[in-house]
């Protein structure tokens, strides 16, 4: 028998307590599956994935070739790791180098944006006739949401936001991403101005009552899934602090930079702290076919500041110990410089940076030759990099498999293996 | 020059291949040599094989070899260029150089702060003077005062500096709040103007004691996503000093940097911008260089998008060019031969875009900049 | 009309091979729901599994289900009340007949086929109008599919059928034109075969699916060219090239080479005729007029005839399976697009009989719809009692919870809240002192919230964060819950008795009367409230956001 909203709330909690004990966690766009629940307790690992769309130049960032044929105008500077140098455009990351692991031996296959962006983020496995999930969707599927019950895979990007099912590939829309366009929440995420929080709670308690009556005569799965979706909605609505840019501190903004990537990285820090499993920060406009050097002089320092600051903060809060941090693009840029001072697409020898859990801090893996054209020793394709990331997250990608329509599918390219030198 | 003889177009005479990409090139005052600031950390030099083309009237007494005056009326077709030993010792690419108005001295600077002076015609390559740390990092542009006594430099370190051309002694400096991209002395030598990152133009006295006023070329600036695009690349005064041309690109996007070449004629007295000369659409790139032709128009080099590029002639204040030649890909620089009968356009080899992957076994090669020699025609 | 007694039919099918059944049984065309053939088959399997089936749905449950399925919305409170009060013994059949005669029925059918066939990959008014007109005319399924697969772009009426293919062949970014995707979808949608894996090799787990099957179909579709509107064509259109040689392929797994002409998958190859140079074209291509020409041998036309013929058993089985899924929530064959010998129907005889009869009845979609909705299997309750054991879905012991599509949800929501006429028909705004709700925008926002992403088949109900946030915060949703002339919240506010209010609310939203317990709930909810209007609005929100409203059960 019901009397007032506070009692609704009590019975609601009781109901949820039992319902969620046996549930079920999952994604966003679709049905929530039960599998992820165990994983949710098993792992506290998180991921920060910084995507520099269009292709940051390895020469003007992680693998400078000062005073060489294709080296460009910039100098290399020493870092906190003796013997390791990076571009002068990254003075702050230079001070964080002891936390970073550079991979300078990336050799991938795709030199087109339209296919490369997806191909790299899906780990470029062998063709199985099914679209593979983006790394974020993989992690959302394999590790599920955190105990916070915030959505497991969030993207902070410029432009439009929303629910992006296509990231999930064959895993299905439940593992798609929730994108905050321009750092802002998607449509309808903020509590409608016409509602108070108390009203919203009251009517939701009523909704739970109707659901209980309904579920009593049905199989529980669907109603539980709905409850989870509404709870996730509620958590997100309650945690507006984590993406409300007006609440970011002046001091933090000064440190991260009052730029798009600075603000987005700060929101990412808040989301990781609040318990989002996988946060992707996507920065666009790195495709410097023309005027590459002025473009990088403008862009790289903004990335440098934001990225170094979040590394510093994650390290200070202890989160870095269980957070895998990655910064990369879909490919690097050509050694040779074209007729409008630009660099074009180059998948043959490029770099990425990693840090955090499972990663060997301060390491530099692989090297390119004096002009930055060829990789000296072992080349690493993105499949090997995926294995490395899975390993760092405690997922045995050489053993574990996805199951899709009864068919086992490897997590990453089965002919490749983790890069041991990059692992702690 | 009679109006009916005034050149209105240019015809390609000959193309010379080079081994490096070139940012900037100038003829020496005597017209016998071409010097080029190169991406491969050199300054390259070429001399005309006799007979040299028609050159300027005899100039200052310290100018070295005097060119033979050529027959009037008909330009003499230049023969081959012979390359002299390149000037080396730079640590990074050399983006800028300037020649002395009467002597054969060339001043050049690299992207790591080295600035020096050389005799462009000498067989040896020892500098007349050289400063290793004239700036911190990338020196973007140099300019020599009309009398030839002062050399101005600017760079990413936000400094503008004035040097004594004779010995490299620093005479003055000014710390700006932004990266400084380009500069020019006024024809009377009294003032120095420089253009910055946000496309503002600052007018200073030649001693850099104070900024007298500010001119606006901000239509050439764009914040695209988080990339700041500085479209202002060239400042040129009209010979009478009445007009300052601020040129470059009106950017439409970052990344690829799409944009339309724009040349803003600024009335130097009032600061008012007249009719802007606009060339083509968003794939024509930047005005990277401008030269005043004695016949009273400007010759411009347009960078273009892949494979394109233009040489254009226009009069400041007119909507578009009256002459355009699209045969040179990705123009970098334009050097007017003294006397105005010839000009050299620095382009880029065809196919400079793309990954440049050679067929299996072949070496991976850099791009290069052919020199296109044009004669002016009526 | 003679009918088969169910027992006899069952005995016969027990001894006859499924496929032989239709041919051997002259009475198959006379199958009717009255004869209980569907129910006989389903009951037999349930009994064999020793599973007891749920009782018949009550009238409220039934009418909601039927309205959503046939009208694409729920009945309003008056309709719902009238049906519940109707004491005629054959009132369900009468309702089925009334609704199937209603103009909203073909619209709903068109919507359902649109969602199935396009899988949210595109929306086009002319395509939807074409489907609606086809459903109004009860166009036979084979005719409809021929019009889709071999579109006549010169025929004003049939031209929009080409959207199925033209949309799929549009280039997206710099990706290759998706000929393999179109090939795959033709197999899936019209034969229930997902041959995707067979582009590169024989299927690894499905023995029946060979590389030759995909490529025989692929050859036909990769030969098409998408042309922009222009000249006589007001829309994008397709032209067909010349096919003179077999298509050659190599297995990426074994390296084995093969070649095929056009082919109906799992069927015979179509011979490529040897034509002399002068015979090849009915209308030769003309570069000047940019006319693509008309080849004498059209693989597309030939294929569309053979694929849709009664000789192709997969064609009839597929439409039976898809319609069955549409009304039952589960296909007789699951997954819908994995028909093959090693994956038989849950009820093989039923599938065989329905497919055979469908062919004999010239692919009459209305006939099959009526057969299904009049069956007891369809009318089963979805309510479990406490002691019920978990029964497998394919026993149909319990009605399934099915997805309410975004379109259904939108109409049901507007019907329930009493805003349908204002928002959909644009009526009654003049007297309101507020801006109109633009139906197109409202529809688009509901689709964004509840429709799947493009190319994600909408197969089952899936509560989502996106939908939850939408119902919690969307302005139009909250707008509909404000009291307004004639709408539900206003009507409820005028009712002083909690009991009357409960009845009106339950009838309007759930299409049923409240139970005693639920009447007490409503009384309790309204009892201590300081702001009755707000509480009523919250009550309506909670009901429309609940699972009972979210699913078709």
What are the structure tokens assigned to A53, written together? 């769309």
DSSP letters for C93-131:
HHHHHHHHHSTHHHHHHHHHHHHHHHTTS---HHHHHHH
Cβ pair B210, B198 in contact under 8 A:
no
Q: Which residues contact A229 (CB under 8 A, 6 or more apart)?
A: A32, C463, C464, C465, C467, C468
Check pLDDT > 80 for residue A324: yes
Alpha-carbon gap: A127 to the closest alpha carbon of chain C (Å): 10
Chain C residues in contact with A32 (beta carbon < 8 A): 463
Average pLDDT, integer, range C395-424: 95
Query: pLDDT higher for A225 or B19?
Result: B19
| pLDDT mean over A74-88 | 98
- Decide: residue C513, CB within 10 A, 0-12 exposed, 13-18 middle, 19+ buried: middle
**pLDDT greater than 90 at residue B63:** no
Q: Do B226 and A287 touch (CB under 8 A)?
A: no
Residue with more model confidence, A260 or B78: A260
CB contact under 8 A, A236 and C473: no
Residues A76, A180, single domain; the answer is yes
- Identify the pLDDT of residue B53: 54
CB-based contact A211 C534, cutoff 8 Å: no
Contact residues for A82 (Cβ-Cβ < 8 A; gap 6+): none
From chain A, the residues in CB contact with C543 under 8 A are: 210
Predicted confidence band at B71 (pLDDT cuts at 50, 70, 90)?
Answer: very low
- Which letter does DSSP use for residue B342 in this model? E
CA-to-CA separations, B181 to A74, A365, B144, in angstroms, rounded: 16, 37, 16
Lowest mean pLDDT among A227-241, A267-281, A360-374, C17-31: C17-31
What is residue C155's three-state secondary structure? coil
pTM of the model as a whole = 0.77
Amino acid C389: pLDDT? 61
* For residues B235-262, average pLDDT: 94
CA B92/CA C64 separation, integer angstroms: 78
- Band of the pLDDT at A415, cuts 50, 70, 90? very high
Mean pLDDT of B279-284: 86
Q: Which residue has the higher pLDDT, C454 or C297?
A: C297
Which pLDDT value is given to residue C25? 40
Cβ–Cβ of A259/B92 closer than 8 Å? no
- Which of B257, B261, B354 would best serve as a mutation to test chain A binding (most A beta carbons within 10 A)? B257
Of C384, C463, C469, the CB nearest to A225: C463
Sign of CA dihedral B343, B349, B350, B355: negative
Partner residue facing A31 (CB), from C448, C462, C473: C462
Are the beta carbons of C456 and A206 separated by less than 8 Å? Answer: no
Instruction: List the structure tokens of A58.
Output: 């390895």
Note the pLDDT tens digit of each residue in A311-320.
999 999 999 9
Instruction: Output the average pLDDT for chain B.
Output: 90
Task: For residue C393, count other CB atoms closer than 10 A to its CB.
Answer: 14
- Candidates A210, A215, A218; nearest CB to C542: A210
Instruction: Quote the CA–CA distance of A58 and A286 in Å, as a whole number.
Output: 12
Q: Which residue has the higher pLDDT, A11 or C289?
A: C289
Cα–Cα distance, A418 to A391 (Å, whole number): 7
Band (pLDDT 50/70/90 cuts) for residue C429 is confident
Residue A245: predicted pLDDT: 80
Angstroms from C110 CA to nearest CA on chain A: 25
Res. A259 pLDDT band, cuts 50 70 90: very high
pLDDT at residue C285 in the model: 81
**A52 with A166, same domain?**
yes
Shortest distance between the Cα of A96 and any Cα of chain C, in A, equals 38
Nearest CA in chain C to A31: C462
Query: Which of C181, C460, C466 is the mutation pick for testing A, counting most A CBs within 10 A?
Result: C466
Pick from B316, B338, B334: nearest CA to B325:
B334
Query: Is the omega angle on the peptide bond into residue B116 within 30 degrees of 0, that is, cis?
Result: no
- 3-class DSSP string for chain A: CCCCHHHHHHHHHHHHHHHHHCCCCCCCCCCCCCCHHHHHHHCCCEEEEEEECCCCCCCCCCCCCCCCCCCCCCCEEECCCCCCEEECCCHHHHHCHHHEEEEEEECCCCCCHHHHHHHHHCCCCCCCCCCCCCHHHHHHHHHCCCCCCCCCEEEEECCCCEEEHHHHHHHCHHHCEEEEECCCCCCCCCCCCCCCHHHHHHHHHHHHHHHHHHHCCCCCHHHHHHHHHHHHHHHHHHCHHHCCHHHCCHHHHHHHCCCHHHHHHHHHHHHHHHCCCEEEEEECCCCCCCCHHHHHHHHHHHHHHHHHHHHHHHHHHCHHHHEEEEEECCCEECCCCCCCCCCCEECCCEEEEEEECCECCCCEECCECCCCCCECCCCECHHHHHHHHHHHCCCCCCCCEEEECCEEEECCCCCCCCCHHHEC
Residue of B nearest to A65 (CA): B92
For the ranges B120-134, C31-45, C181-195, the lowest mean pLDDT is seen at C31-45
Q: Which of residues 26-55 of A touch C (CB under 8 A)?
A: 28-32
Calpha distance B277→B288 (Å, rounded): 14
| pLDDT for C30 beyond 50 | no
Residue B44 scores a pLDDT above 80: yes
The per-residue pLDDT for range A282-310, each reduced to its tens digit, is 999 999 999 999 999 999 999 999 999 99
- Whether the pLDDT of residue B146 is over 50: the answer is yes
Give residue-wise pLDDT tens across range C364-385: 999 999 999 999 999 999 988 7
Provide DSSP, C314-379. Answer: HHHHHHHHHHHHHHHSS-SSSSTTB-BTTB--SSHHHHHHHHHHHHHTTS-HHHHHHHHHHSHHHH
State mean pLDDT over B121-150: 97
Name the band, by pLDDT with cuts 50, 70 and 90, for residue C27. Answer: very low
Per-residue pLDDT reduced to its tens digit, C65-75: 999 999 999 99
Mean pLDDT of B245-264: 92
Set of chain B residues whose Cβ sits within 8 Å of the Cβ of A373: 364
Q: What is the mean pLDDT of residues A209-214?
A: 92
For testing contact with chain C, the best of A111, A119, A222, A287 (most C CBs within 10 A): A222
Determine if the peptide bond prior to C493 is cis (ω within 30°): no
Residue among B40, B112, B228 whose CB faces A298 most closely = B228
Q: Does A202 touch chain C (CB under 8 A)?
A: yes
Residue numbers in B near A341 (CB within 8 A): 303
Name chain C's partners: 3 or more CB pairs within 8 A.
A
* Residue A357 located in a structural domain: yes
Are A345 and B355 inside 8 Å of each other by CB? yes
pLDDT in tens, C213-250: 999 999 999 999 999 998 778 889 999 988 889 999 98
Q: Any idea what the Cα angle at residue C232 is, between residues C228 and C238, rounded to 5°?
A: 45
Please check whether residue A194 lies inside any domain of the structure.
no
Residue-number span of the structural domain to which A7 is assigned: 1-34+199-242
A57 has pLDDT over 50: yes
- What is the C-alpha to C-alpha distance for residues C502 and C543, in angstroms, rounded to an integer? 11
pLDDT value for C286 = 79
The answer for C 372-401 residues in CB contact with A (under 8 A) is 382-385, 390, 401
Give the Cα separation of B172 and B169 in Å (integer): 9
A298 interfacial to chain B (CB closer than 8 Å): yes
**Are A218 and C401 inside 8 Å of each other by CB?**
yes
Closest CA to A155 of A146, A147, A165: A165
A203/A280 same-domain check: no
Domain spans, chain C: 22-106+311-395, 145-307, 402-552
Contacts of B256 in chain A (CB under 8 A): 287-290, 342
Cβ <8 Å between A218 and C525: no
The answer to whether the Cβ–Cβ distance between B228 and A340 falls below 8 Å is: no
- Check whether residue A78 and residue A103 sit in a common domain: yes
Residues shown for chain A: 424
Of all residues in chain A, the one with the smallest CA distance to B198 is A298
Chain A 169-198, residues with CB within 8 Å of chain C CB atoms: 172-174, 176, 178, 186-192, 194-195
pLDDT of B294 > 70? The answer is yes
Residues of C in contact with A164 (CB under 8 A): 453
C-alpha to C-alpha distances, C39 to C20, C191, C326, C393, nearest whole angstrom: 21, 25, 18, 15
The reply to whether residue A284 touches residue B227, judged by beta carbons under 8 angstroms, is no
Q: Which residue of A has its CA nearest to C468?
A: A230
Question: What does the pLDDT read at residue A114?
Answer: 63
For residue B359, what pLDDT is reported?
80
| Whether residues A283 and A156 fall in one domain | yes
Nearest to B150 by CA among B204, B198, B199: B204
Q: How many domains does chain A have?
A: 2
Residues A226 and A366 in one domain: no
Which residues of chain C does A188 touch, with a Cβ-Cβ cutoff of 8 Å? 449, 469-470, 472-474
Q: What is the mean pLDDT of residues B183-194?
A: 98
The helix/strand/coil state of B131 is strand
pLDDT of residue C361: 95
Q: Is residue A190 part of a domain?
A: no
CA distance A100 to A266: 19
The model's pLDDT over A14-44, given as tens digits with 9 standing for 90+, comes to 322 333 322 333 333 333 444 444 444 458 9
Q: What is the pLDDT of residues C139-177, one digit of tens each?
A: 999 999 999 999 999 899 999 999 999 999 998 765 678
Q: Would you call A29 and C464 a contact, using CB atoms and an 8 Å cutoff?
A: yes
Close Cβ partners of C295 (under 8 Å, ≥ 6 residues apart): C240, C241, C242, C243, C280, C281, C282
Separation of alpha carbons C338 and B326, rounded Å: 60
Sequence-ordered list of residues with C-beta below 8 angstroms from that of A202, at least 6 positions apart, any chain: A5, A8, C538
Pick from B255, B286, B306: which is nearest to A287 by CB? B255
Count, residues in chain C:
553
**A150 in the same domain as A16:** no
Is the confidence metric ipTM above 0.90 for this complex?
A: yes
Q: How confident is the model at residue C26 (pLDDT cuts 50, 70, 90)?
A: very low
Q: Are residues A79 and A128 in the same domain?
A: yes
A346 neighbourhood in chain B, CB within 8 Å: 355
Q: A 346-385 residues with CB below 8 A of B?
A: 346, 348, 371, 373
Closest Cα in chain B, distance from residue A251 (Å): 21
pLDDT at A408: 86
Query: How deeply is B57 buried, as exposed, middle or buried, from its count of CB atoms within 10 A (0-12, 13-18, 19+)?
Result: exposed
Nearest CB among B226, B254, B256 relative to A259 is that of: B226
Looking at per-residue confidence, does A359 or C6 come out higher? A359
CB proximity under 8 Å: C 268-297 to A: none
* Number of cross-chain residue pairs from A and B with Cβ atoms under 8 Å apart: 137
How confident is the model at residue A19, as a pLDDT? Answer: 31
Interchain proximity B352–A158, CB inside 8 Å:
no
| Whether B92 and A71 lie within 8 Å, measured CB to CB | yes
Q: Is the distance from CB of A292 to CB of B352 less than 8 angstroms?
A: no
Please check whether residue C178 touches A, CB under 8 A.
no
Residues of chain A found within 8 Å of residue B361, distances taken between Cβ atoms: none
Chain A and chain C touch, per 3+ beta carbon pairs within 8 A? yes
Distance of CA A350 to the CA centre of its chain: 20
């Amino acid at each position: 028998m019901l009397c007032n909203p506070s009692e609704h709330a009590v019975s609601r909690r009781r109901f949820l307590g039992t319902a969620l004990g046996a549930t079920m966690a999952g994604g966003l766009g679709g049905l929530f599956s039960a599998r992820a629940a165990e994983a949710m307790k098993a792992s506290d690992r998180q991921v920060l994935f910084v995507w520099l769309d269009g292709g940051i130049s390895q020469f003007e960032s992680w693998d400078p070739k000062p005073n060489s044929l294709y080296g460009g105008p910039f100098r290399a500077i020493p870092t906190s790791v003796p013997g390791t140098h990076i571009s002068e455009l990254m003075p702050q990351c230079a001070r964080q180098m002891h936390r970073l692991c550079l991979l300078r031996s990336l050799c991938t296959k795709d030199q087109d944006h339209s296919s490369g962006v997806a191909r790299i983020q899906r780990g470029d496995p062998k063709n199985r006739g099914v679209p593979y999930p983006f790394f974020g969707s993989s992690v959302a599927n394999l590790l599920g949401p955190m105990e916070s019950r915030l959505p497991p895979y969030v993207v902070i990007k410029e432009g439009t936001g929303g629910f992006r099912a296509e990231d999930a590939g064959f895993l299905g829309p439940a593992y798609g991403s929730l994108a905050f366009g321009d750092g802002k929440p998607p449509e309808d995420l903020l509590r409608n101005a016409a509602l108070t929080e108390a009203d919203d709670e009251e009517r939701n308690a009523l909704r739970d009552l109707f659901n209980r009556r309904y579920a009593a005569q049905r199989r529980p799965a669907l109603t539980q899934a709905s409850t989870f979706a509404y709870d996730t909605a509620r958590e997100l609505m309650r945690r507006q602090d984590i993406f409300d840019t007006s609440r970011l501190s002046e001091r933090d903004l000064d440190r991260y930079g009052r730029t798009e990537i600075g603000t987005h990285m700060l929101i990412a820090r808040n989301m990781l702290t609040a318990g989002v499993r996988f946060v992707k920060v996507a920065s666009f406009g790195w495709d410097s076919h023309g005027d590459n050097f002025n473009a990088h002089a403008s862009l790289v320092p903004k990335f440098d500041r934001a990225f170094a600051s979040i590394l510093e903060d994650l390290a200070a809060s202890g989160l870095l110990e269980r957070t895998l941090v990655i910064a990369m693009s879909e490919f690097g840029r050509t050694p040779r410089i074209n007729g409008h001072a630009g660099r074009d697409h180059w998948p043959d020898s490029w770099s990425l940076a990693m840090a955090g859990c499972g990663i060997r801090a301060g390491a530099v893996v692989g090297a390119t030759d004096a002009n930055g054209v060829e990789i000296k020793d072992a080349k690493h394709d993105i499949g090997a990099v995926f294995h490395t990331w899975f390993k760092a997250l405690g997922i045995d990608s050489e053993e574990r498999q996805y199951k899709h329509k009864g068919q086992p599918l490897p997590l990453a390219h089965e002919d490749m293996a983790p890069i041991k030198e990059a692992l702690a | 020059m009679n109006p009916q003889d005034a050149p209105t177009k240019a015809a390609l005479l000959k193309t010379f291949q080079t081994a490096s990409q070139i940012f900037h090139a100038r003829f020496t005052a005597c017209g016998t040599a071409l010097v080029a600031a190169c991406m491969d950390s050199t300054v390259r030099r070429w001399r005309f094989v006799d007979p040299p083309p028609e050159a300027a009237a005899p100039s200052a007494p310290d100018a070295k070899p005097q060119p033979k005056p050529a027959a009037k009326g008909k330009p003499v077709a230049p023969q081959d260029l012979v390359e002299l030993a390149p000037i080396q010792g730079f640590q990074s690419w050399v983006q800028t150089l300037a020649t002395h108005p009467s002597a054969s001295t060339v001043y050049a600077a690299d992207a790591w702060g080295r600035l020096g002076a050389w005799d462009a015609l000498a067989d040896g390559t020892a500098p007349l003077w050289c400063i290793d740390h004239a700036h911190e990092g990338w020196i973007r542009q140099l300019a020599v005062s009309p009398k030839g006594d002062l050399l101005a430099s600017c760079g990413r370190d936000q400094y503008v500096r004035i040097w004594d051309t004779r010995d490299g002694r620093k005479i003055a400096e000014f710390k700006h709040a932004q990266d400084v991209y380009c500069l020019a002395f006024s024809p009377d030598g009294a003032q120095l103007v420089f253009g910055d990152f946000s496309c503002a133009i600052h007018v200073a006295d030649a001693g850099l004691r104070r900024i007298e006023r500010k001119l606006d070329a901000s239509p050439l600036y764009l914040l695209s996503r988080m990339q700041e695009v500085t479209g202002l690349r060239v400042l040129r005064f009209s010979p009478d000093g009445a007009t300052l041309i601020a040129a470059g690109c009106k950017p439409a996007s970052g990344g690829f940097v799409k944009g339309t070449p724009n040349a803003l004629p600024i009335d130097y007295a009032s600061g008012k911008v007249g009719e802007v000369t606009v060339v083509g659409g968003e794939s024509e790139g930047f005005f990277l260089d401008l030269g005043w032709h004695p016949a009273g128009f400007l010759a411009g080099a347009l960078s273009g998008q892949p494979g394109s590029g233009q040489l254009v002639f226009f009069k400041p204040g007119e909507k578009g060019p009256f002459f355009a030649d699209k045969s040179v890909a990705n123009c970098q620089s334009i050097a007017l031969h003294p006397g105005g009968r010839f000009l050299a356009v620095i382009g880029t080899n065809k196919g400079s875009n793309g990954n440049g992957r050679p067929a299996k076994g072949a070496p991976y090669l850099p791009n290069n900049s052919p020199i296109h020699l044009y004669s002016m025609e009526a | 009309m003679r009918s088969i007694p169910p027992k006899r039919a069952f005995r016969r099918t027990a001894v006859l091979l499924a496929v032989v059944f239709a041919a051997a049984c002259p009475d198959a065309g006379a199958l009717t729901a009255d004869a209980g053939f569907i129910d006989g088959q389903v009951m037999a399997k349930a009994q064999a599994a020793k599973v007891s089936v749920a009782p018949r749905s009550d009238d409220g449950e039934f009418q909601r289900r039927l309205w959503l399925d046939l009208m694409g919305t729920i009945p309003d409170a008056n309709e719902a009340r009238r049906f519940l009060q109707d004491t005629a013994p054959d009132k369900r059949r009468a309702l089925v007949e009334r609704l199937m005669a209603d103009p909203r029925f073909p619209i709903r059918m068109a919507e359902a086929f649109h969602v199935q066939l396009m899988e949210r990959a595109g929306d086009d008014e002319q395509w939807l109008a074409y489907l609606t007109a086809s459903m109004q005319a009860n166009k036979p399924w084979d005719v409809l599919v021929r019009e889709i697969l071999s579109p006549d772009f010169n025929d004003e009426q049939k031209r929009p059928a080409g959207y199925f293919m033209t949309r799929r062949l549009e280039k997206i970014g710099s990706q290759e034109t998706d000929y393999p995707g179109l090939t795959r979808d033709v197999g899936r949608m019209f034969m229930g075969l997902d041959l995707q894996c067979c582009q590169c090799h024989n299927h690894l787990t499905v023995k029946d699916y060979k590389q030759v099957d995909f490529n025989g179909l692929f050859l036909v579709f990769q030969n098409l060219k998408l042309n922009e509107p222009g000249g006589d064509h007001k829309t994008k259109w397709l032209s067909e090239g010349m096919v003179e040689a077999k298509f050659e392929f190599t297995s990426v797994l074994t390296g084995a080479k093969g070649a095929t002409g056009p082919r109906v998958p799992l069927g015979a190859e179509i011979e490529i005729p040897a034509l002399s140079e002068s015979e090849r074209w009915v209308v030769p291509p003309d570069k000047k007029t940019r006319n693509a020409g008309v080849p004498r041998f059209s693989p597309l036309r030939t294929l569309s005839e053979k694929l849709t013929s009664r000789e192709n058993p997969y064609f009839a089985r597929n439409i039976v399976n898809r319609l069955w899924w549409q009304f039952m929530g589960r296909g007789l064959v699951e997954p819908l697009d994995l028909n093959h010998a090693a994956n038989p129907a849950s009820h093989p005889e039923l599938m065989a009989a329905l497919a055979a009869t469908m062919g004999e009845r010239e692919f009459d979609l209305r006939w099959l719809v009526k057969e299904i909705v009049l069956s007891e299997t369809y009318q089963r309750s979805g309510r479990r009692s406490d002691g019920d054991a978990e029964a497998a879905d394919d026993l149909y012991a319990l009605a399934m919870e099915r997805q309410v599509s975004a379109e259904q949800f939108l109409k049901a929501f507007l019907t329930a809240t009493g805003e349908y006429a204002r928002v959909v028909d644009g009526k009654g705004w003049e007297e309101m002192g507020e801006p109109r709700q633009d139906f197109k925008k409202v529809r688009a926002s509901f689709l964004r919230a509840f429709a799947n992403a493009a190319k994600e088949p909408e197969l089952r109900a899936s509560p989502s964060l996106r939908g939850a946030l939408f119902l919690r915060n969307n302005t139009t949703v909250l707008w509909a819950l404000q009291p307004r002339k004639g709408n539900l919240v206003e009507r409820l506010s005028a009712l002083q008795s909690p009991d009357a209010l409960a009845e009106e609310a339950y009838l309007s939203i759930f299409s049923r009367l409240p139970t005693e317990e639920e009447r007490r709930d409503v009384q309790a909810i309204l009892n201590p409230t300081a702001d009755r209007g707000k509480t009523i609005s919250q009550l309506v929100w909670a009901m429309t956001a609940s699972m009972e409203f979210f699913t078709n059960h």
